[in-house]
Amino acid sequence: MDFDVKQLVTAIKAIAEEKNLPEATVQEAVEQALAAAFRRDYGDREQEVRVTMNLGSGDVDAYVTKEIVDNVEDEFTQIALKDAQAMRKNAAVGETIEIHQEVKTFGRVAAQTAKQVVLQRLREAEREIVMEEYEDKIGTVINATVQRPEGNIVRIDLGKAQGIMPRSEQIQGERYYPGQRLKVYLKDVERGFRGPQLILSRGNREFVEWLFRGEVPEMESGAVEIKGLAREAGVRSKIAVWSNVPGVDPVGTFVGGHGTRVNAVMSEIGEQEKIDIIVFSDNPVEYIMNALSPTKVTSVKIDENAKRAHVAVPEDQLSIAIGKGGQNVRLASKLTGYELDIESDGGASAAASDAPAAPVAAETPAAPAAAAPKKPGKIKKKSELESSLLEAIEEHGE
């Protein structure tokens, strides 16, 4: 059974429309496929064949390149000098000539080969277009839908393409399910064997910055800006903000009236993640004091060479300065760029670290130390009460 070329063209145009590919890209793919089909039905695999076609009419013309020789040994790749001179008067031995052949139909096997080549070329073209389109969106936030969680990664549907969100880029404690609509940050587009791989994130600090950019229009005008951001996704974020316009409160601008702006960001990243918004300062001492908010800092001594700061706080503020699991001091250290050693006025101390906060846990018994003297008092009162009751019982017995 023969396959009509016009049917193939109709099918290809439908595929191109569905995949949203340029007509020129489709035409090139079809011509390469038809050249392969021509070699199978009318020629030889070693032939050099160029095919042109009209997508509107479906007309196909094949041009076979042959070498001009005195004696033809292979009729598929060679042509006699006299035959070549009949087509081109100045033809000479050793040159090549293109011979035109019109094509009407292809055999079933050749048509199937052409179809496979076309689909392959279209897939490659689609991948390239996806790559070009999403390369321009790297560093932006995109609306997406969860396709399915798969082990440590989550497959995300972006509409025209699919992406993956590795465990390291997810928000701690956040659960994902098929069909879930969410916003994702396009971190990178990697070229792979199976096409472009889109790397997505909800756990990086840039994601939070972009969410604020959508809620704070003053950022676009340059009136306010984010100077620094430290984040532990799903737990806490610290943001240093600054105003470039006199009289504009940067913290109030980011918080919004009745907290509408910061609450909108928190609703996207999860209510469990707390956000501290502090004022940036060029003065390292003031910046560190602000970064440790809500702690009341007594003094800050900075060693610029070691990029280290010794911070003194009231004894009752030590646990607040350190935070749960060392979280507050660790984020403040990331935000300011200084390694922070926290000391209480009573001498207890703790240092900021990116590692699990085992040393901080060892320090925590210092906090309830103030309550220790109260325990003997309570025991004494209890014993007195017991003895008085015993005395009353004995008296009653007598």
| pLDDT, averaged in runs of 10, over the chain (398 residues) | 59 70 75 81 81 76 88 87 88 89 71 72 76 87 94 90 93 94 93 78 96 95 96 95 95 95 94 94 95 92 94 92 92 96 74 44 35 41 50 50
DSSP states along 60-122 = EEEEEEEEEESS-S-TTTEEEHHHHHHH-TT--TT-EEEEEEEE-EEEHHHHHHHHHHHHHHH
Closest CA to 236 of 214, 205, 196: 205
pLDDT given for residue 216 in this prediction = 96
DSSP states along 230-269 = EEETTTEEEEEEEESSTT--HHHHHH-GGGHHHHHHHHHH
pLDDT given for residue 33 in this prediction = 78
Task: Compute the distance between CA of residue 269 and CA of residue 208 in angstroms, rounded to an integer.
Answer: 8
* Cα→Cα distances 91→75, 307, 385, Å: 17, 80, 126
* Cα→Cα distances 359→34, 165, 353, 355, Å: 71, 33, 9, 10
Residues 23, 100, 112: CA angle, nearest 5 degrees: 55
Three-state SS for 353? Answer: coil
Closest CA to 186 of 130, 246, 232: 130
Task: Compute the distance between CA of residue 35 and CA of residue 63 in angstroms, rounded to an integer.
Answer: 9
Topology of 219-276 in CATH? GMP Synthetase; Chain A, domain 3 (3.30.300)
The identity of residue 369, as a single letter, is A
Task: Compute the distance between CA of residue 329 and CA of residue 354 in angstroms, rounded to an integer.
Answer: 10
Let me know if the fold of 137-203 is the same as that of 219-276: no
CATH number of 137-203: 2.40.50.140
Three-state SS for 363? Answer: helix
Cβ-count burial 124-163 (b if 16+ within 10 Å, e if not) = ebbbebbbeebeeeeeebbebebbebeeebbbbebeebbb
pLDDT given for residue 9 in this prediction = 67
State both tokens at 256.
């919004």
pLDDT given for residue 201 in this prediction = 97
pLDDT given for residue 381 in this prediction = 47
What DSSP designation does 355 have?
A: S
Residue with tokens 């042509």: 79
* Cα→Cα distances 340→12, 107, 226, 285, 326, Å: 64, 77, 22, 11, 11
State both tokens at 247.
């009289």
What sections of 256-326 are H helices per DSSP? 260-269, 284-291, 318-322
Task: Compute the distance between CA of residue 316 and CA of residue 367 in angstroms, rounded to an integer.
Answer: 7
pLDDT given for residue 126 in this prediction = 74
**The length of the chain, given as a count of residues:** 398
pLDDT given for residue 209 in this prediction = 96
What sections of 106-235 are H helices per DSSP? 108-135, 205-215, 218-221
pLDDT given for residue 246 in this prediction = 94
Query: CB-side exposure of 353: number of CA atoms within 13 Å?
Result: 10
pLDDT given for residue 72 in this prediction = 87
CB 113 within 8 A of CB 186: no
User: Structurally, what CATH architecture does the domain formed by 281-391 represent?
Assistant: 2-Layer Sandwich (3.30)
pLDDT given for residue 391 in this prediction = 56
Give the domain ranges of the chain: 2-133, 137-203, 219-276, 281-391
What DSSP designation does 170 have?
A: S
pLDDT given for residue 41 in this prediction = 77
pLDDT given for residue 191 in this prediction = 74
In terms of Cβ atoms closer than 10 Å to its own Cβ (0-12, 13-18, 19+), residue 282 is: exposed
Hey, what CATH class is 2-133 in? alpha beta
> Residue 165 forms beta bridges with which residues?
154
